[in-house]
Structure 1
């Protein structure tokens, strides 16, 4: 049975993450205003401080679970800002490598930060429409890559990218698979930082491949299924991002309302509450419901590995809650939501993406529907 009481180990890690998040918050407006500046992997305030994400890996028996704590730490991290004291050492491409890479490939690239390159200008949220091609040159034992990717997280800072492409087999047919492309490879270029509504401090750019030649060793050989199993681990984390930002704005809203003596009374009945307090309680309830979805998905992951439907539920609920909570807070804050003297408007912009990237809410609901109704992807097109 799931237990939502945090252990002492959980609390210690969460408290450290919260302290670090508040230290990082002072950089929030700078990176929001200077989105062409890619943040360093470690801000100066991180020096001498432990890394809670690393600590949890050696705390078996002291924490509720590595996956649960990972989600809680990400919530605290984004409660500070999009730019943390330390950028995570790995990205989605690392999970693909660990899942299907050969021992030799893992030995070579296991310590690199590997972005993942899936999204394309004409494919959007449908990876089955990827058009980037990989043609095998038998005479040179190389693959020739041509194509373009957009909205790639850590595009500039990553050491390499795990590229999702259509490879032409010996029979002339194309199939989806992955290749590891290292920075500095001829024919591989990274575009400028994307101008975004929110999360401007997050490294996001496009990738271009023009006759980019890779040795056959760089063919990691993941397929459509194995690549997208990775998202069962990451989608609840994206929801955690949004909830962390939402919590920051919700706390700020509570503080500002308290200054004018509006404080929620959780025990009072409907008749005894003002419309503002009633709205606050609705936002708090939505936050807690989404929080429970995220924690449950990660609890199941700790128990039996990645879970598809629960991960999509967490992503759909977390993204929707983040959007609704931040919108509701702005409505309650009034003038405080319009000024750059506070971070409220920034948190609103930052939270919006959590309902879009790594599969928008509509896509998550399709995944859930297929599972519940027993339909195939083709049935629900």
Structure 2
């Protein structure tokens, strides 16, 4: 199998993340899964690690001066750290302060003043609405300028870390008649009048993380809390806010890669305990069926891993990564669900029981094929990029 070595400059971060995953996240994984909506006690000791990783957050750091210069920077560091942490527990990774998707949005499009003002804040991101899921351009939450404030009205669902975060990055439209170009993102402070937490969702997986439903009624935010350009440019569309996804999709892909590797590691142990030998020098047909299937799953994992690193590396080196980001998200999201379910099948009742974490990882993995753009949306993006066609032309 092809294997890409971790750069020496990043080895310390990866080692620290793996140690935290093995010694803190993994031991409490089952307990936190059962105690949904209860704040995980691990967050008290993981704060310093979260601050360390957030310093390497996506979109930050200097870019290479020219394309000939190779840089392994903040994006690659983030995905490698996230892979290790999700090997421990994906739900807890999503619960770490200041590592939210809203923080990635701020890092992607905030100006210098905003970046300083919101530094140290834990930011969730609110995009999905009851009538708007994959098609984020169909957002109905409105933002109307009134003097020095924007007035937001609407509803947001499935907001990851919405209850625990300090601020929420809310996507809203300045003018519904202008379509995608009018979609902007606003930083809303928790406790702002009219910003109401409706409920916390009960979920299939990632139960250590809170997922919130908000209602916004006459929520007033300072005009300087709008991220990016306040002007509506119909020629540019909503590229500004969509730029966030080019940074966050590799992070979700990294989550999927970490969970898939956890399942493979546990399956390898159980197969070995059962007396099976995994021999990479023998052809598949000459091996036990379970071993041949396991090796095929590992190959799928390696493809996801390498695509994820490529998308992050391109971002670090100031190269357009929209296509690689969607390819990595699509491949890793699908592989995580396939690998975790297949691992349960390979080990039988040992994987279906709560005595093992395999069944939990299978539940956790499914969301990684859905949030930050579903599998189907990623395939559409890839098709548009490869064929050079618009979304309208591909309908």
The structure-2 alpha-carbon separation of the partners of 1:104 and 1:19, relative to structure 1 and needing over 3 Å to count, comes to: closer
1:125-204 alignment, distance < 5 Å: 125-138=134-147, 141-168=148-175, 175-204=182-211
> For the residues of structure 2 that align with 1:362 and 1:290, how far apart are their CA atoms?
17
> For the residues of structure 2 that align with 1:245 and 1:333, how far apart are their CA atoms?
17
> For the residues of structure 1 that align with 2:53 and 2:111, how far apart are their CA atoms?
29
Does residue 1:323 correspond to 2:337, yes or no? yes
Alignment counterpart, residue 358 of structure 1, candidates 369, 372, 384: 372
The structure-2 alpha-carbon separation of the partners of 1:10 and 1:228, relative to structure 1 and needing over 3 Å to count, comes to: same
Does residue 1:87 correspond to 2:127, yes or no? no
1:196-235 alignment, distance < 5 Å: 196-222=203-229, 224-235=238-249
| TM-superposed deviation, 1:215 | 3.1
More displaced 10-residue stretch of structure 1: 299-308 or 338-347? 299-308
Contact 1:43/1:85, CA 8 A, preserved across alignment: no
Contact 2:47/2:96, CA 8 A, preserved across alignment: no
Contact 2:102/2:124, CA 8 A, preserved across alignment: yes
Does residue 1:13 correspond to 2:37, yes or no? no
> For the residues of structure 1 that align with 2:50 and 2:131, how far apart are their CA atoms?
44
More displaced 10-residue stretch of structure 1: 67-76 or 344-353? 67-76
1:256 aligns to what? 270
| TM-superposed deviation, 1:353 | 1.0
Give per-residue Cα distances to partners, 1:185-217, cap 9 Å, x unaligned: 100012322111011111211111012122333
Alignment counterpart, residue 383 of structure 2, candidates 366, 369, 380: 369
Does residue 1:118 correspond to 2:127, yes or no? yes
| TM-superposed deviation, 1:68 | 2.0
1:54-93 alignment, distance < 5 Å: 54=55, 64-82=72-90, 83-84=92-93, 87-93=96-102
Q: Which TM-score applies when normalising by structure 2?
A: 0.87
The structure-2 alpha-carbon separation of the partners of 1:37 and 1:243, relative to structure 1 and needing over 3 Å to count, comes to: same
> For the residues of structure 2 that align with 1:292 and 1:54, how far apart are their CA atoms?
24
Partner of 1:192, secondary structure, is strand
| TM-superposed deviation, 1:157 | 1.3
| TM-superposed deviation, 1:303 | 1.7
Give per-residue Cα distances to partners, 1:270-295, cap 9 Å, x unaligned: 34211111101110110011111111
Q: How many residues align?
A: 376
| TM-superposed deviation, 1:242 | 1.0
1:288-327 alignment, distance < 5 Å: 288-327=302-341
| TM-superposed deviation, 1:88 | 4.7
The structure-2 alpha-carbon separation of the partners of 1:48 and 1:296, relative to structure 1 and needing over 3 Å to count, comes to: closer
Q: Which TM-score applies when normalising by structure 1?
A: 0.90
> For the residues of structure 1 that align with 2:139 and 2:285, how far apart are their CA atoms?
55
2:35 aligns to what? 34
Say what the alpha-carbon RMSD is for the aligned residues: 2.9
> For the residues of structure 2 that align with 1:85 and 1:249, how far apart are their CA atoms?
19
> For the residues of structure 1 that align with 2:168 and 2:377, how far apart are their CA atoms?
24
| TM-superposed deviation, 1:306 | 4.9
Contact 2:164/2:210, CA 8 A, preserved across alignment: yes
Contact 1:53/1:73, CA 8 A, preserved across alignment: no
| TM-superposed deviation, 1:3 | 9.4
| TM-superposed deviation, 1:305 | 4.3
The structure-2 alpha-carbon separation of the partners of 1:177 and 1:34, relative to structure 1 and needing over 3 Å to count, comes to: same
> For the residues of structure 1 that align with 2:94 and 2:209, how far apart are their CA atoms?
13
More displaced 10-residue stretch of structure 1: 347-356 or 187-196? 187-196
> For the residues of structure 2 that align with 1:226 and 1:251, how far apart are their CA atoms?
40
> For the residues of structure 1 that align with 2:159 and 2:126, how far apart are their CA atoms?
6
Stretches of structure 1 lacking an aligned partner (at least 5 in a row): none
2:235 aligns to what? none
> For the residues of structure 2 that align with 1:239 and 1:46, how far apart are their CA atoms?
23
Partner of 2:17, secondary structure, is helix
Give per-residue Cα distances to partners, 1:165-194, cap 9 Å, x unaligned: 11249xx86722222211111000123221
